[in-house]
Amino acid sequence: MSQKNHIGESVTHIDAWDKVTGSAVYCGDMSFLHQLYGAVYRSPFSHAKIITIDLAEVWKTPGVKAVVTGEDFPRLYGQYVVDQPFLAFGKVRFKGEPVVAIAADTPESAAEAVKKVHAVFEELPAVLDVYEAVAEGAPLVHDDWSKYSVADFIRPEPGTNICDHFQLSKGDMDAGFREADVIDEGEFSTPMIQHVTIETHCAIAQCLNDGTVNVWSPCQSPFAMRDQLAAALKLPLRKVRVIASSIGGAFGGKNEMRVEPIVIALAMKVPGKHVKLVFTREEEFLSSVVRGESSVKVKLGAKNDGTLTAVKVETYLDTGAYATTGPRVNFIAGFASSGPYVVPNIKVDGYCVSTTRQIGSSFRGFGVSEIAWAYESQMDCLAKRLKMDPLDLRMKNAVEDGSISATGERLFSVSAKQCLQAVADAIDWKNRDPVITPEGKIRTKGIATFMKPTGTPSNSSAVVRLNDDGTVNVMIGGMEMGQSMTTVIAQMVAHELGISMDSVEMTPVDTEYCPFEKHSSASRLTFHIGNAAVRAAKDVMEQLRRLAAIAWNVDPRAIKAGRGELTGPGGQSVTLPELRKASILRDQDPVIGKGAYSTSDIYVPLDPVTRQSARPMIYWMWGAQAVEIEVDPETGKIQVLKVAAAHDVGRAINPVACYQQIEGAVSMGVGHALIEEMIFDGGDILNANMVDYKVPTIADIPLETQVILIENGHPEGPYGAKGIGEPGIIPTVPAIGNALCEAIGERIHRLPMKPEKVLEALKKRSEHCHAPTI
C-alpha cells in the first residue's frame, strides 16, 4: 500500500523512525529520499589565520556529494552579538572550531573525507585566561566589536576582549564601607564544565529549490533559531521552518545553534536532499558549548551587629570564542550579585570576556550559580569574623516583602526567610557543631540561599483548538526538556475546561503553525505560557458561550460559563464531552481559543547607567538549602549525607514534578561541587570523553534529599505559580563549601572540591576560617 512521506512523496515501505526528525525512514526505492551525512574538519589551533584550504583529495573520496568552507558561506549569526560564522573564515578562534563541512552518502565516507582536508594555518597567540584576556595589550579575539550587530543592553568595550561590561550601582559604596565595622573580601572561581546531555547535538536540514529551509532539531528555542537563521540567510521568516524534535537533555546547552548552521550550509549545496549531522561525544566537548570559567570577587561591609552596609562585586565570565548568550548570563548574574539581602550601598561590575577557548553559553542557573558560590561563601566568612551564626547573619539581612532590591524595586511575594528557616529546621541546625564519627570522619553542616530573576521583558502565546468530541489540541512554542512543562500546561487547560488530562493533546512544536515563543529558558514557561494557556482556555469557553446562545436561542449574557460547563437560563446545560451530542458546534465556525501574556505593561526600563528600575523583573525565585556532609581526613573524600532544600514554587501545580526538578538539580549541583571540570593543557582538552570527565553516579548523590515546597503564590502567576526548573542547583554548591570549611577549617575557593584539594587544605588554616574545636 502506498503511503506518503513527510515531504509528500509516495513510498511503499516504512522501515523505522528517524530519532532526530521523528519522521519515517523508508526502504525500497529510496532514490527520492536519499539522506546525506555530514562530518566536520575542525581547527587544530586555538587561534590562527586560515592561509589555504586544499580540498582536491576530499572530492576523490567515494560518496562525497558536497563540501563547503567559510569562504563559500561567509554568514554570521548570534542571539545577542552577531559575531559567529557558520564555518570559520579568515581565522579560527578556538581549537575544534568548524572549518570545512562535508556531506557524503554514508557517515563513514564523510568521516574518511575529513581526513583528506589539507589546511594551512598561521598560528596566532592564544588567549586562554580571562585575566590574560583583559590585560593591556592582550591579543584580540575579535578586532572590532562595532562591526557586529549588538543587542541594546550589551556594552562592549572597544579595543578589548570585553564583549560586555555590566554595571549596577545603588547608594554610595565608599560611604557604606566607611560606615562598616568589619570588612571581609575574597575571590571564588569555577572551572569550565560541560552540559553532558545524554543526546549530543544533532540536526537535519533540507533546502528546497524555492529557497525554503527546513530544519529538524532537538533545540530549546525553535523560534529564536528561526529568527537567527532568517536574518543570517536574508530570508523572510516564512521561508525558514524549524521542526523541534524531542530533546535528550539540554540544561541550557541547546539554547544555541551548533549543528544547524553546518547542515544548512551543506544542504544549500544539494537542494532537496536531507543532510544529517550528529556530534560525537568528543565533538560535544570540543565544539558544542560549555559553562565557561568564572572568577568572582566579593567584598562585604557590616556593622558589629551583622547589619550589611555595603557590597562590592567584580565578576569575570569567560564566554569563549564567541559571545552567544554570555552577555545575557552576565546581565542576569549582575542582578543577583548582592544576594537576597538588604544592602543600602552596592556596586557591581560584571565583565563578559572573549578568549580563544570553547564557547561559553547558558547553563542551568544562568550565571547565578557562579555568583551564589561566591557571595554565600563570603557570607559565611563574614559570619566567622563577626562570631555570628551563619543562619542568624542571613536572617538578619534577608529581604522580605517591602524590601528594596539592588535595582530599587520594592519586592513582593518574597520567601527568603521562610526558606532559610525551613531548611534550618529540617537539618537540625541548632545542633550543628562538628562531630567526629567512630571511624574518624568529620560531620558538619552548611547553609546557603539565593535569589534569581526570570527573563524579562518577555511574552508568550498559546492556542487551544476544540474538537467536536470535547477534546482539545494545545499549541505552544515552548519546549519540553524533561521539566514537565507540557504536563503542567495540560493540567491548567484541563482544569479551565473541566475535562480530563487524557482529553488534552500537546502538539509538537513547529514554527510553521505553533505560536511564537521567545525562548525556553530562565525557568519562565510555567509562569508565562501558563498565563497564556489559561487565557486561551477561557477564550474557548467564551466562544462556546456565544455558540450555545445561538443553539439555545437566548441572550449570550444569560449563559453562565463555568469550568467546562455551560448553563442556560432555562435549565439547559452542557459539558465539553457532551458537545457532539448537544450539536452546539454544528454548522458553526471552529472554536480556536487564543491567549497571550506579555510583561511589556509591567516591566520598567532600566536606567542605562545605574541599572535601577522599579520593576526590572516579572518575578524572582527564592530558595535555600542546608546540607550535612562527612569528610574523611585520611582520603579527603566528601560524602553528602543529607540535603534539605526549600524552594518557593508559588503554587505547586504538579508537586511530583517540583520534587523531581529540585532533586535532579541538587544531584547536578553535587557534581559541580565535588567532581566536574574540564581539564586543559594549553588549548587541549585532556578529558573530552565520558571516561575521564566525571559526572555524579548513584554513589555520589546525597543519601537523603528532603524537598520542602514553599507555596507563596505570586499574584500575577497562573494560580500563583512561579518557576522551579533552575533554582535547585544554585545553593547546593555553596552549602557544601560552607560545610566543608566548618569541617577542615580551611576554605576552598576554586571548584571542584576534590579529595586532593581537601587533603591540601587540611595542611593549612585560612586567614578567615579557623579549624573547629571538636
CB burial of residue 606 (10 Å; 0-12, 13-18, 19+): middle
* Interacting residues of 698 by C-beta distance below 8 A, sequence separation 6+: none
Nearest Cα residue to 196 out of 260, 74, 285: 285
So what's the pLDDT on residue 579? 85
**Upper half-sphere CA count for residue 147 (Cβ side, 13 Å):** 7
Inter-residue contact 303 to 178 (CB < 8 Å)? no
Inter-residue contact 709 to 657 (CB < 8 Å)? no
CA 65 to chain centre: 37
d(CA 609, CA 614): 15
Domains by residue range for the chain, with CATH: 16-23+458-598 (3.30.365.10), 31-124+201-278 (3.90.1170.50), 127-192+289-398 (3.30.365.10), 410-452+618-774 (3.30.365.10)
Q: Which residue is listed with cell 443553539?
A: 551
d(CA 630, CA 342): 33
pLDDT along the chain (774 residues), means of 10: 34 36 37 79 98 98 98 95 97 98 97 98 97 97 96 96 97 98 98 96 97 97 96 97 95 94 97 97 96 98 98 98 96 96 98 98 95 98 98 98 96 98 98 95 98 91 95 97 95 95 97 94 94 97 92 92 89 88 84 94 91 94 98 96 98 97 97 98 96 94 96 97 95 98 96 97 64 45
So what's the pLDDT on residue 12? 31
Inter-residue contact 451 to 622 (CB < 8 Å)? yes
d(CA 239, CA 746): 59
Nearest Cα residue to 708 out of 626, 641, 653: 626
Inter-residue contact 461 to 477 (CB < 8 Å)? yes
What one-letter code names the amino acid at 606?
A: L
Angle at 363 between CA 165 and CA 701, to 5 degrees: 135
d(CA 297, CA 279): 36
So what's the pLDDT on residue 4? 35
So what's the pLDDT on residue 26? 35
φ, ψ for residue 624 (rounded to 5)?
-155, 155
Inter-residue contact 530 to 717 (CB < 8 Å)? yes
Order of strands, sheet of 118-123, starting from the edge strand that comes earlier in the sequence: 91-92, 48-54, 118-123
Q: How is residue 590 written as a grid cell?
A: 471552529
So what's the pLDDT on residue 764? 79
d(CA 214, CA 205): 6
Nearest Cα residue to 202 out of 263, 286, 279: 279
| Alpha-helix residue ranges (DSSP H) falling in 6-114 | 56-59, 107-114
φ, ψ for residue 310 (rounded to 5)?
-160, 150
φ, ψ for residue 613 (rounded to 5)?
-165, 140
d(CA 371, CA 365): 10
Q: Helix or strand or coil: residue 303?
A: coil
So what's the pLDDT on residue 763? 85
Nearest Cα residue to 758 out of 774, 773, 772, 739: 739
So what's the pLDDT on residue 33? 59
CA 149 to chain centre: 23
- Paired residues of 11 in beta bridges: 3
d(CA 401, CA 412): 5
Inter-residue contact 174 to 236 (CB < 8 Å)? no
d(CA 499, CA 505): 12
So what's the pLDDT on residue 582? 81
d(CA 759, CA 740): 12
So what's the pLDDT on residue 768? 47
So what's the pLDDT on residue 508? 96
